[in-house]
């Protein structure tokens, strides 16, 4: 497995500072893809009908107070209501809209993948848009891809939860960089993956729910690729910030002592 050193990353660095390092060791790199997404929360995507809105509000309140996963709360509350409410929520929960249908993409050639160019892409976004990085990296053969390992946690940033995130990654033998997303943690791995290995990586991560975002994992597996926000989004004043480098070997040794 590749063990990288990331010069110049500090607690003021963000995901953009790290992106060029993610792909620098990939031979035959052709391009990296970014997605432009609508800046809409998951709660706002649920069917907005009179019989559904009350349980959406209740689910959002449970998430805010107790960190209950939003969709788990909505589904359980809908089951309590039953009937048409349950049917509407099940229909909504089952939806997976492919990236190609709801987001425009920007392919950046590997030779142009600089911090300056990525920040220019960010500056061009409106307040209603989010810029996300795709895990799928195109190689020069045009028909071949590798994937940047990505993971979305769902634990609030704290010293205790930082250690928890590292403990999870260590048990997955994952090395890379951990970022504070503003609401939780994002992880980017060192070792590019084939599509098959990406699915294995996501499957292993799902075993650690609810510490990782299981619904995010489900959508990435259906899509066959991952994506994580690199812009500040709707609720935050800045994009995800650097927390620490994670090395599965060194962390495992530390935990064993």
Domain chopping of the chain, boundaries: 15-39+106-256, 42-93
For the structural domain made of 15-39+106-256, what CATH number should be given? 3.90.920
- State pLDDT tens for residues 106-155: 999 999 999 999 999 999 999 889 999 999 999 998 679 999 999 999 99
Q: How far apart are CA 174 and CA 166, in angstroms?
A: 9
Q: Find all residues with CB under 8 Å of 132, minimum gap 6, and list them.
A: 34, 35, 36, 37, 103, 227, 228, 229, 230, 231
- State pLDDT tens for residues 215-242: 999 999 999 999 999 999 777 888 999 9
pTM of this structure:
0.89
8 Å CB contact between 149 and 217: no
């Amino acid at each position: 497995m590749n063990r990288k050193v990331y010069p110049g990353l500090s607690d003021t660095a963000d995901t953009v500072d790290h992106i060029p390092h993610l792909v620098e060791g990939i031979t035959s790199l052709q391009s990296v893809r970014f997605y432009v997404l609508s800046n809409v929360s998951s709660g706002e995507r649920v069917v907005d009908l009179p019989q559904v809105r009350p349980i959406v509000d209740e689910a959002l309140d449970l998430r805010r107070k107790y960190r209950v996963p939003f969709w788990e709360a909505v589904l359980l509350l809908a089951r309590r209501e039953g009937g048409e409410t349950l049917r509407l929520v099940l229909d909504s929960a089952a939806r997976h809209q492919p990236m190609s249908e709801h987001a425009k993409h920007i392919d950046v050639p590997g030779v142009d993948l600089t911090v300056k160019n990525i920040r220019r892409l960010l500056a061009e976004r409106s307040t209603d848009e989010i810029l996300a990085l795709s895990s799928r990296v195109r190689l020069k053969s045009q028909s071949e891809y590798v994937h940047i390992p990505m993971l979305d946690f769902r634990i609030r940033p704290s010293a205790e939860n930082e250690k928890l995130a590292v403990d999870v990654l260590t048990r997955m033998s994952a090395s890379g960089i951990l970022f504070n997303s503003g609401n939780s943690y994002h992880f980017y791995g060192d070792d590019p993956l084939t599509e098959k290995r990406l699915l294995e990586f996501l499957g292993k991560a799902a075993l650690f729910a609810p510490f990782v975002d299981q619904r995010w994992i489900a959508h990435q597996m259906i899509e066959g690729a991952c994506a994580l926000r690199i812009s500040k989004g709707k609720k935050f004043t800045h994009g995800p910030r650097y927390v620490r480098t994670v090395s599965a070997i060194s962390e495992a040794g530390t935990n064993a002592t």
